[in-house]
Amino acid sequence: MKNRVLFFILFLTAGLFSCSKRNTPTPPVTPPVVPESTLKDAASYTIGVGVSYDLLKNNTSYSGLVKTQFDRITPEYQMKHGANVRNDGLFDFAKTDELVNTLAAANGLTVFGHTLVWHQNNNGTYLRSLAGTTGPNLISNPGFENGFTNWFTQVSSTLPTAGSITAESTDMHAGTQAAKIVVTTPGPNAYSIQIVSDNFSVASGAVYKLRFWAKAAGNAQSLRAVAQGTSYYAQQEQPLTTTWAPYTFNFTPAENSISIKFHFPNAGIFLIDDLSVGLSSTVLDPILVDNALHYWITTMVDRYKGKVAGWDVVNEVVVDGTGDLRTSSNSTATVDNFYWADHLGRSYIANAFRWANATDPSAKLFINDYNLESDNRKLDSVIKLINELKTTGVPIHGVGLQMHISINTGNAGIDNAFQKLAATGLLIHVSEMDVRINPSNIAGFSATSALFDQQAEKYKYVAQSYFQNVPAAQRFGITMWNLTDADSWIVLGGKVDFPTLFNSSYQKKPAFSGLLQGIK
């Protein structure tokens, strides 16, 4: 009996001890901190941002954030006509080369080209100089079709001058011949090697224009165009490129008889063809305008061939509300505005795509426009233009929906735009997105947390609608327009607003989380 009691006591004690061990609280385990995903890692498509060349180059906070969050950059200004074309029509690609070849590459970023043809941000000074001439061509044998008849040629025997002047029959701008000038060693004078036209009559004091086509064996090799009489003399130094291009030179003779001369003070190989001299007109010459556009597009696309994923080929060609083609008669005139349709009609749109595609067949080519989520007439007009281009075999691959929207933009309009544009079968690019919280430009505006939350919801909705309404094969990506509120085009334009994903201190706003949730 005593043994059974002892066994019971031992059993009970063991059970109590066992229960007390099982119920001993264990210290809490702190879960590992999981960093918030980056935009580019969360998305199944490309996430881009419109950037400033100066900030990307000089601000490490800016470039570091771009590199961390985004796959692709769209230069906000640096690839436009006005950023690369000088007043004389020649190109200066120094900054654009650095942006594409150095800054983007150093940060592991691909580049989207923006934009080849726009009515804004052009070098208007140069484009407005493309006036034609009136009256007959005053140059005899202007294309050297009869060799050097009506021309005097000279390679001086004075040392160290060495070179040759011949008729070229394999590389011409037009016709069957051009003038070829080889300067092996320049002479002691600029005119040691020269070609000179016969004299022709002019009206003293009138403005004349010389136009000629030329190229050189090396970029920036220069010749000198001269208008000269007995005592009158005017000249223009002209650096050339390695492709045929038109050049113009305005002059106002102080005599009634002059000649046109080309002097060659620099070593190189030069070709000249198709000259004309006439009274300068105030009306732009459509041929010169067309040539300038063609030359700009092919030069730009060729220079960055294989380095740019795609191009906004034509930008904002349709007018708000009406759907009409944009011209100077229905749009604003400013110093850098140039309305291509005024001089080239509707054909410049198709030609721009054809020229870009012929230069780089691998690049994706886009038409880009704004307010398509809020202006049905404009949306339908852009789609009509897209279908016209497709029907005529024009190589168009995508459409950019800019989406400069606000917290008041209707979600139904966003869905409608994505659905209609996706029905074209083209790639769809949300190309310039920002979301304003003060779209009415209220004076004394102050941002609130409630407004930032609404902004976040709008960013989220756009990303969700893009995913739901655009098939995966057509999603080219979403691009934010500007990185922070401080560098936003809206804020820099004088508006009080906070339209981007990051504040001026490079910190994430609720908008960032909203977009992140939308793209996951």
Q: pLDDT tens digits, residue range 26-68?
A: 555 555 544 578 999 999 999 999 999 999 999 999 999 999 9
d(CA 422, CA 431): 15
Main-chain phi, psi angles of 302, to 5 degrees: -65, -40
Is 33 inside a domain boundary? Answer: no
Q: Quick one: CA torsion of 65, 69, 74, 76, rounded to 10 degrees?
A: -40
Domain count, the chain: 2
pLDDT at position 5, please?
40
Mean pLDDT within 357-377: 97
pLDDT tens sequence across 411-442: 999 999 999 999 999 999 999 999 999 999 99
Provide CB contacts within 8 A for 431, sequence distance 6+: 74, 114, 312, 366, 368, 400, 401, 402, 403, 479
Q: Going by C-beta distance under 8 Å and a sequence separation of 6 or more, which residues neighbour residue 485?
A: 491, 497, 498, 499, 500, 502, 503, 504
Mean pLDDT of the chain: 92
* φ, ψ of residue 292 in degrees (nearest 5): -65, -40
Is residue 311 in a domain? yes
Q: What separation in angstroms does the CA of 129 have from each of 89, 243, 285?
A: 9, 21, 9
One domain, residues 248 and 326? no
The residue written with tokens 């609404």 in the block is: 454
User: What confidence tens digit (pLDDT) does each residue in 160-180 have?
Assistant: 999 999 999 999 999 999 999
CATH number, domain of 105, equals 3.20.20.80
| Nearest Cα residue to 364 out of 312, 296, 314, 433 | 312
Mean pLDDT is lowest, of 92-101, 278-287, 346-355, for 278-287
Counted residue by residue, the chain has a size of 520
pLDDT at position 35, please? 58
Q: How confident is the model at residue 220 (pLDDT cuts 50, 70, 90)?
A: confident
Domain-terminating residue out of 266, 282, 298: 282
Question: If you ran DSSP here, which 8-state letter would residue 174 be given?
Answer: S
Q: Verify that 363 and 349 share a domain, yes or no.
A: yes
DSSP-derived secondary structure letter, 228: E
Answer yes or no: do 183 and 300 share one domain: no
Structure tokens at 212: 């000629």
What is the tens place of the pLDDT at every residue in 180-190?
999 999 999 99
Angle, alpha carbons 323-329-330 (nearest 5°) = 35
Paired strand residues for 435:
405
Average confidence (pLDDT) over 2-19? 41
- Distance between CA atoms of residues 392 and 387, nearest Å: 9
Residue position matching structure tokens 């168009």: 396
Q: How far apart are CA 487 and CA 256, in angstroms?
A: 57
Q: Has residue 335 been placed in a domain?
A: yes
* pLDDT tens column, 483-517: 999 999 999 999 999 999 999 999 999 999 999 99
In this prediction, residue 25 carries a pLDDT of 53
Widest CA span in the chain: 147
pLDDT at 227: 97
Both 199 and 256 in one domain: the answer is yes
The pLDDT-based confidence of 122 (bands split at 50, 70, 90) is: very high
Per-residue b or e along 79-112, where b marks 16 or more CB atoms closer than 10 Å to that residue's CB: bbbbbbbeebbbbebebbeebbeebbeebebbbb
- Domain shared by 71 and 149, yes or no: no
CATH code of the domain containing 192: 2.60.120.260
State residue 30's pLDDT score: 55
Listed in sequence order, the residues at least 6 apart from 219 whose beta carbon sits closer than 8 Å to its beta carbon are: 239, 240, 241, 242
* pLDDT score at 491: 97
Selection from 376, 377, 381, 375 nearest residue 367 by Cα:
381
Query: N- to C-terminal Cα distance for the chain?
Result: 73
Cα–Cα nearest to 403, from 436, 441, 380: 436
Determine the pLDDT at residue 17.
39
Mean pLDDT over residues 325-354, rounded? 94
Whole-number Å distance between alpha carbons of 519 and 478: 10
pLDDT at residue number 495: 96
pLDDT at 106 over 80: yes
Question: Do residues 184 and 76 share a domain?
Answer: no
Residue 504's φ and ψ, nearest 5 degrees, are -70, -10
pLDDT bucket at 287, cuts 50 / 70 / 90: confident
Distance in angstroms (rounded) separating the CA atoms of residues 511 and 452: 7
On whether residue 80 sits in a domain, the answer given is yes
Which residues are CB-contacts of 218 (< 8 A; sequence separation ≥ 6)? 242, 268, 269
- Note the pLDDT of residue 88: 79
pLDDT at 13: 44
**Tokens at residue 330, please?**
């229905």
What value does the mean pLDDT take over residues 251-280? 96
Task: Please give the DSSP secondary-structure letter assigned to residue 158.
Answer: S
Instruction: Determine how many CB atoms are found less than 10 A away from the CB of residue 450.
Output: 9
407 and 478 co-located in one domain: yes
Domain final position from 267, 282, 297: 282
- Of the candidates 309, 515, 304, which has an alpha carbon nearest to the alpha carbon of residue 405? 515
Same domain, 317 and 177: no
Whether residue 23 is predicted with pLDDT greater than 70 in this model: the reply is no
Q: Do 98 and 205 fall within a single domain?
A: no
> pLDDT at position 129, please?
86
Calculate mean pLDDT across residues 455-482: 98
Is residue 293 assigned to a domain?
yes
- What percent of the chain is predicted at pLDDT more than 90? 84
pLDDT at 26: 54
Cis before residue 499, ω within 30 degrees of 0? no
Asked if 181 and 277 sit in the same domain, the reply is: yes
Q: How many CA atoms lie within 13 A of 438 on its CB side?
A: 16
Q: What is the pLDDT of residues 127-138, one digit of tens each?
A: 998 888 888 999
Supply 416's token pair.
């409608």
Residue where a domain stops, chosen among 265, 282, 299: 282
**Which residues lie closer than 8 Å to 350 by C-beta, 6 or more apart?**
389, 392, 394
| Each residue's pLDDT tens digit, 124-163 | 999 998 888 888 999 999 999 999 999 999 999 999 999 9
The β-bridge relationship of strands 475-481 and 427-436 is parallel
Domain-located, residue 410: yes
| Rounded Cα gap, residues 438 and 197, in angstroms | 65
In a domain, 336, yes or no: yes
Q: Quick check: helix, strand or coil at residue 446?
A: coil
Q: Which domain holds residue 101?
A: 39-128+288-519
Residues 390 and 483 in one domain: yes
**Separation of alpha carbons 176 and 281, rounded Å:** 29
Q: Note whether 339 and 210 are same-domain residues.
A: no
Mean pLDDT of 85-98: 92
| 8 domain residue, yes or no | no
Q: H or E segment at 154? A: strand 151-155
